[in-house]
Structure 1
Amino acid sequence: MAQRIMILATDGFEQSELEKPKANLEEAGFETVVVSPEDGEIRGFSNKEWGDPVKVDLTVDEAEAAEFDALVLPGGQINPDILRMNDKAVQLVRDFNAADKPIAAICHAPWMLVEAGVVDGQSVTSWPSLRTDLQNAGGKVVDREVAVDGNLITSRNPDDIPAFSKALIEALEKQMQNEMSEAA
């Protein structure tokens, strides 16, 4: 059975930061599930304009971290700012972290990591305007295309999507190998 990856987003996500990692994961054989506070469709932003709609597969009220192997948090200024006001969305981040499952957050999405209280002591990166927030939350901020610390995978912007996707896929493959070793 393919590993299931939750992509948690709402209106205002950065189009490329949802669509490209989703496509990269699916191409690598993983199942992706878009989860949002609302059902139906959500719309991203692309080049300062509203982007294409994306189908929502589950609402946050229907989703449980235990049913997934990893979490992807796309950026965009609006998306994480709305999500961090949703208690269930924040709890999902906490639940993934408590289960030590990979959490991949790009651009402005590390705001969700701050809101969930999971960056203290971790090396993280993000869009430059969030770095003070990450430092204030106890994160060790680095400026590189991808930062991996434990189960947290963070990147700065859409240019980092190839490295971001590669780091997440490697974490999922390692997770699968560990599960197979434990089952043997």
Structure 2
Amino acid sequence: MRWSLWWWVVPAVLAFWAVGAHNRLTRLRAAVLQAFGQLDAAMALWIELVPPAPDPATPLDEAAAADEAGWAGLRAAALQLGACLAVARQRRQRRQRRADIAALSAARDVLRDAWQRLLLETPRFGGQAQPGSIHLVWEQRDTQVQLAIDQYNQAVRLYNAALGQFPAAILAWLLRLRRAQVL
């Protein structure tokens, strides 16, 4: 009689544990996806700050042509970030790859470098930031992006820590859950 009770209790406890562990991993994965959504929105607002290219039919004077060379580098970096963001966005529900996040991180760095280069090398653009200028808006959006990155990285660290814990690691292996990549 005692053994028959154990045959029912042990599988029931294991089943309840598995359901609880699965729910926890699912909740943490959803937090990573939500944090990525916030990061996506912040980066999209950042990219929107880059003005479109001028009409090629319009002739530019020397100063405007020099300014346009700096803006062209920023536009190219924004296009690269937009493309990397689109790929990561497309795959976020279907197992994002580490390479997607690494490319997104590199594109973010390139965009920030292009902005710094624009500030330093473009005549008539550098100097003190005036209230309401693109300088201040850029810095505000940069701060928003950095905050979103920090939140995303924190969610990824919690998820990865949960995947690495002993009993949950077995369940993660069975469900083929992979570790997420920090940005």
So what's the TM-score if we normalise by structure 2? 0.25
So what's the TM-score if we normalise by structure 1? 0.25
Structure with a larger share of its residues in helix: 2
Q: Bigger radius of gyration, 1 or 2?
A: 2
Structure with a larger share of its residues in strand: 1
